[in-house]
Structure 1
């Protein structure tokens, strides 16, 4: 089977969130399973220089963006049996950031047409063309409406993965004629229209052969008004082709047995090193070095989506308990300031770091007892899976991927892999934290059993990639 991924993010080249992690990991895993895999990406100027220098220039061609004839250079890089093709355009992609520009509609119209036309140039006609989020969601529509005359493309089947419903790619109706060089028929009949705009994501949902999200619960949630961001009706109409597959995490990078960022390595069979990591972390942060106090940590973007309004409402209450709270993250300036003020007021209990530091994040995953992730909505989430891999029990709002990956503590059976609350209110967050704190302080045997259950969970891409292969085979 031949699979081509079209995306605007891919680790380690450039990423802003989970999309980059998925496209960085899933193609590599599929390539291990006798799948011929290629990835097409914009050649953003943020790519680290080492990868830029490793890229090979192949050729260039011209893309008609409405009346404009735009240069599209093609660069190639092969890593671990995956071919990466980069569409080069200084005009569109030599920017300080990936998104958020006045001409994003034009930039991604160009990229999507270039990605389609590239297939013939590189003689890679896939069985599956897998597109991701709104930036590439028009590709299934374009294949069937603009490029249907190309015989080589007739048998291509398409999959659209929605990583976040909030961002849909809504642009003026004139984009169809001015940029895509098409008529307005599909706008007037409603196929791509939403609230008097052309909606890239809506077009993808209607035209792709399969639509999936990054967790089964999120696939259900986006069919409701609370999470569908206006497209819930379309998703309910197309639910026969909608499914959810939980993302994996990189087990080579996130491995407590071999992680070089840790103070001491450890494993599920021998967790003594986890306590050593905790004590070293406390020492490094200037907190009282105590085994008996639970360390609660946060590694996240500080936004309302991630639920930190609830945390700020309860943090003073939380710090009245015998706990230590450590936060690493950046985001909303108001939230940053609020957390920093708590760090200044409670220096013996609260350590706040407004920063992004990958190595420090790994030390927090390993050295903490609990990981706090109270997201308002969470399509999948990776941090809760990483924390479990390191034996740190997550405390989560039971929504989306958090609901699918964390088994809430059952006090009757004394089982679970973390703690959860279902109502998105600060009271229930605090009650859940109190239950976790009491269990940690009063029943160390059960706590160790929960740690062991969490570390035994399989969140590898090997498992997730099998589900994607099954999805591909359904439609080929």
Structure 2
């Protein structure tokens, strides 16, 4: 049994801004369950064997934001004097689990409403460096058992730049626990003016080009990349991509230098929340064996979105942030061609205001072809995954991605660009893969409207071949995207560090 301190700036359902929260809310629970008995996968209806004799002893630590949604009232456990500040630690649990969550409670930094990272105008909070430096100091104190919690971890697992100083600070300690640092998105690095380093009162030994210094600036993420015992990211392909200038954002050289300790482990998905056999958000539940029951969901989606009801017209779903990273510009470039085709598009998302306006204009001009909902609606998201035939996800880059996993589980065939986690989770529907029963989606290489349009045409042709289409759907629905699978890979990584 391993003792693991999971350091994160957010965790679902306590607070969420992105995919990190999904990981932090699911992976610790999956690790805690490993070895506690067989788990039934509703998709394949098979029983998996326990991986260990005991579940892992995992504790999560994160800031105590004002907007955290508590299922149980946290209790005070101690106060630490850190960097001339008195900081409380509160204790609660991740909802629906036995995983203990420690909340770093310092009101001047964390006790005000809103996003953990940016204000209402999308600008980083003025004291964001101070906030997460203090958080990292507290996590270090807990890791070294100086919070007097009578618990010392074997592994400290840090996530993204907000926790990047923890491996750096632990590198200065005697008999420190081993460290893992997971990159969820290299585009966000926590880089600040060099003067901030002194203002944060950080140890001078860390300020050099091979440490936290980055071209005269302070880089939080470098703390994780330089000082961790192992570096992971959220898909094998993304682990390779971030070693290139296109995806490394200036740190590709460092990542290439440390490639021997860098690996990619796919995120899992919540199999209980996203399960077509029991989903309460959809009108008709179904499995891979009863996939004909998917059709009523298509009819209901067409009716809800005021589109003509026609089971023979392919419905394309798209749930996304409306930003260039997600390839929305490629979709926009294709729309003049697509509106001439016998198809329908249902879009749910928000983001760039100019993109929002463009997609709404298309929906206004072609109300029988395109339906757009700006914002996010959890129920509608489930109904799109269940009711659409095809899911569009043409991201320019995608560290892991979840919607392509949801789509496969719901028998909704994803069209993806071959990048990051999209490349690792989709088997392209080519003649040999369809014949072998391994095809689960459609992928294309170039980030261009022409390449996306060709992929859409391929999907339309396959959709007309009902036998081949059904085979692809059933292959997709049987894929294993469980967190248990991912947790086993992390546990093997922890074991490798311990045995080194």
Q: What TM-score range do you get, normalising by the shorter chain?
A: over 0.9
Identify the residue that residue 221 of structure 1 maps to in structure 2. Answer: 241
Question: CA deviation digits over 1:414-457, x for unaligned, max 9?
Answer: 2510101001111000010011012112x011000000000010
Identify the residue that residue 48 of structure 2 maps to in structure 1. Answer: none
Q: Kindly tell me: are residues 173 and 413 of structure 1, through their superposed partners in 2, closer, same or farther at Cα, counting changes over 3 Å?
A: closer
CA RMSD of aligned residues (A): 1.2
The alpha-carbon deviation at position 413 of structure 1 amounts to 4.5
Distance in 2 of aligned mates of 1:252 and 1:93: 32
Task: Kindly indicate whether residue 298 of structure 2 is the aligned counterpart of residue 278 of structure 1.
Answer: yes
The alpha-carbon deviation at position 155 of structure 1 amounts to 4.2
Question: CA deviation digits over 1:164-184, x for unaligned, max 9?
Answer: 00111112223333213422x
Identify the residue that residue 11 of structure 1 maps to in structure 2. Answer: 12
Identify the residue that residue 98 of structure 1 maps to in structure 2. Answer: 116
Task: Kindly indicate whether residue 137 of structure 2 is the aligned counterpart of residue 137 of structure 1.
Answer: no
Identify the residue that residue 44 of structure 2 maps to in structure 1. Answer: none
Work out whether residues 395 and 417 of structure 2, in 8 Å CA contact, stay in contact via their aligned partners in 1. Answer: yes
Task: Kindly indicate whether residue 92 of structure 2 is the aligned counterpart of residue 77 of structure 1.
Answer: yes
Distance in 2 of aligned mates of 1:89 and 1:316: 53
Work out whether residues 7 and 62 of structure 2, in 8 Å CA contact, stay in contact via their aligned partners in 1. Answer: yes
Identify the residue that residue 117 of structure 1 maps to in structure 2. Answer: 141
Identify the residue that residue 179 of structure 1 maps to in structure 2. Answer: 200
Q: Kindly tell me: are residues 302 and 125 of structure 1, through their superposed partners in 2, closer, same or farther at Cα, counting changes over 3 Å?
A: same
Distance in 1 of aligned mates of 2:440 and 2:208: 50
The alpha-carbon deviation at position 60 of structure 1 amounts to 2.0
Distance in 2 of aligned mates of 1:156 and 1:391: 43
- Correspondence for 2:357 among 337, 342, 364: 337
Question: Larger deviation: 462-471 or 169-178?
Answer: 169-178
Identify the residue that residue 434 of structure 1 maps to in structure 2. Answer: 457
5 Å-filtered alignment, 1:346-361, equals: 346-361=366-381
5 Å-filtered alignment, 1:142-157, equals: 142-145=169-172, 148-149=173-174, 154-157=175-178
Identify the residue that residue 77 of structure 2 maps to in structure 1. Answer: 58
Distance in 1 of aligned mates of 2:67 and 2:334: 38
Task: Kindly indicate whether residue 447 of structure 2 is the aligned counterpart of residue 424 of structure 1.
Answer: yes
Question: Larger deviation: 271-280 or 205-214?
Answer: 271-280
Identify the residue that residue 32 of structure 1 maps to in structure 2. Answer: 33
DSSP-derived class of the 2:171 partner: helix
Q: TM-score, normalised by structure 2?
A: 0.90
Q: Kindly tell me: are residues 410 and 72 of structure 1, through their superposed partners in 2, closer, same or farther at Cα, counting changes over 3 Å?
A: same
Distance in 1 of aligned mates of 2:283 and 2:176: 53
Distance in 2 of aligned mates of 1:186 and 1:86: 27
Identify the residue that residue 43 of structure 1 maps to in structure 2. Answer: 64
Distance in 2 of aligned mates of 1:118 and 1:203: 18
Identify the residue that residue 181 of structure 2 maps to in structure 1. Answer: 160
Work out whether residues 396 and 447 of structure 2, in 8 Å CA contact, stay in contact via their aligned partners in 1. Answer: yes
The alpha-carbon deviation at position 109 of structure 1 amounts to 0.4
Question: CA deviation digits over 1:27-84, x for unaligned, max 9?
Answer: 0000012100100000111112x43x522222222221xxxx2231211112412110
Distance in 1 of aligned mates of 2:206 and 2:157: 23
Task: Kindly indicate whether residue 477 of structure 2 is the aligned counterpart of residue 455 of structure 1.
Answer: yes
DSSP-derived class of the 2:372 partner: strand
* Runs of 4+ deviating beyond 3 Å: none
Distance in 1 of aligned mates of 2:12 and 2:392: 25
The alpha-carbon deviation at position 8 of structure 1 amounts to 0.3
Structure 2: gaps spanning 5 or more residues:
35-54, 118-123
Number of positions where the alignment pairs a residue of Structure 1 with one of Structure 2: 462
